[in-house]
């Protein structure tokens, strides 16, 4: 039986047309699921009894099982078990302007970033659209509040699950669905050039964040295996294509690793690499894992790095650190749970 959360509004319009129902029934169904949080077809009272019976035979609505919920100031982390027994994570962060959800897109990850906990595990499979949507729906149900923004920065590489991720984005952005504005959705990628270019041509223009983490190929290849497949030159070419097609600003993510990529030389190289582009740099304070050889940069080195970038005309900020006391970095909670 198919999970109805896998279906966009257009998918459901085609389904209803094929069974000789009106297209507008798809909007009614979306309203029940995404606005009223009703997951039982028998309770959707503006649909005919025959249609409710058919929907019950053709579809299911499944949300994940929670294995663990950890809370800290302003942060809650969820460990979910999927129908096949695999585990994924989601995190919410409460800001003055609303609640942001960081969700996973894969079980495991093949990008192999040396500083990332989830990068230490091989990809098992992509998450289905329904498994992406269900993370948001469960969190909203658990909190009793609406999610105001979504970042795809959890376990996995979103562009390695491109088709499902895009269907997910269209569903949560749909005014009949979760109605989360495109400007409040951010897709983070380690840098797969062909999908950056493909994304530039999509109808929806959610935000794009590129995990760069180094200003040259030698250092980036040491930190990120993906750079061995796609060089900085290729990634920067794709970023330029995206900027040309969308005229939208790109976020460059840069994790600060003590005495690795946080030198004055690295800051100058990074400024030269990004000069003249419609970007801003988001410096990330490293959240150290139990088995990591890396250490977070000192405040002094971060401040020096920021000052160099700003002096070169690069707009720069530091991401506020959330959840370091509850294993909130990608893959930490899952790894700790499985090890026990």
Enzyme catalytic residues:
89, 330
CB neighbourhood size of 202 (10 A): 13
106 with 73, same domain: the answer is yes
Residue 98 sits in a domain whose CATH number is 3.20.20.70
Q: How far is CA 89 from CA 71, 92, 149, 224, 331, in A?
A: 13, 10, 17, 22, 7
**pLDDT tens figures, 131-182:** 999 999 999 999 999 999 999 999 999 999 999 999 999 999 999 999 999 9
Task: Indicate the residue among 10, 36, 60 that finishes a domain.
Answer: 60
Percent above pLDDT 70 for the chain: 93
Q: How many distinct structural domains can be found in the chain?
A: 2
Coil, strand or helix at 250: strand
Angle at 322 between CA 315 and CA 148, to 5 degrees: 75
Of residues 251 and 320, more confidently modeled: 251
Identify the pLDDT of residue 337: 41
My answer on whether 8 and 74 are in the same domain is no
Closest CA to 319 of 220, 245, 231, 211: 211
pLDDT of residue 340: 45
Give the pLDDT band (50/70/90) at residue 321.
low
What pLDDT digit, counting tens, does each position of 201-248 carry?
A: 999 889 999 999 999 999 999 999 999 999 999 999 999 999 999 999
* Boundaries of domain holding 36: 2-60
Q: What is the pLDDT of residue 290?
A: 61
């Amino acid at each position: 039986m198919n999970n109805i959360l896998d279906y966009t509004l257009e998918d459901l319009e085609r389904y209803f047309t094929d069974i000789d129902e009106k297209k507008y029934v798809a909007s009614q169904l979306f309203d029940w699921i995404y606005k009223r949080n009703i997951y039982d077809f028998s309770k959707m009272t503006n649909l005919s009894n025959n249609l409710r019976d058919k929907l019950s035979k053709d579809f299911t609505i499944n949300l994940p099982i929670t294995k663990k919920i950890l809370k800290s100031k302003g942060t809650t982390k969820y460990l979910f078990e999927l129908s096949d027994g695999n585990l994924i994570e989601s995190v919410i962060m409460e800001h003055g302007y609303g609640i942001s959800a960081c969700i996973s897109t894969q079980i495991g990850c093949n990008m192999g970033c040396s500083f990332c906990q989830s990068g230490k595990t091989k990809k098992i499979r992509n998450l289905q659209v329904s498994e992406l949507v269900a993370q948001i729906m469960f969190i909203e149900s658990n909190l009793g509040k609406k999610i105001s923004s979504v970042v795809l920065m959890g376990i996995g590489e979103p562009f390695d699950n491109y088709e499902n991720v895009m269907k997910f984005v269209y569903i949560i952005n749909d005014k009949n669905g979760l109605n989360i504005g495109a400007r409040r959705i951010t897709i983070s990628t380690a840098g797969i050039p062909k999908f950056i270019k493909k994304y530039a041509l999509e109808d929806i223009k959610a935000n794009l964040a590129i995990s760069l983490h180094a200003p040259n190929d030698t250092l980036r290849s040491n930190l990120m295996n993906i750079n061995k497949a796609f060089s900085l030159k290729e990634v920067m070419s794709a970023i330029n294509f995206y900027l040309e097609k969308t005229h939208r600003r790109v976020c460059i993510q840069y994790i600060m690793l003590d005495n690795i990529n946080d030198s004055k030389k690295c800051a100058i190289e990074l400024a030269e690499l990004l000069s003249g582009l419609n970007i801003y740099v988001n410096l990330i304070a490293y959240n150290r894992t139990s088995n990591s050889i890396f250490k977070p940069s000192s405040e002094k080195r971060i401040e020096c790095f920021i000052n160099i970038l700003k002096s070169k005309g690069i707009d720069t900020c530091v991401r506020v650190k959330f959840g370091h006391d509850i294993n909130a970095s990608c893959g930490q909670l899952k790894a700790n749970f499985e090890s026990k």
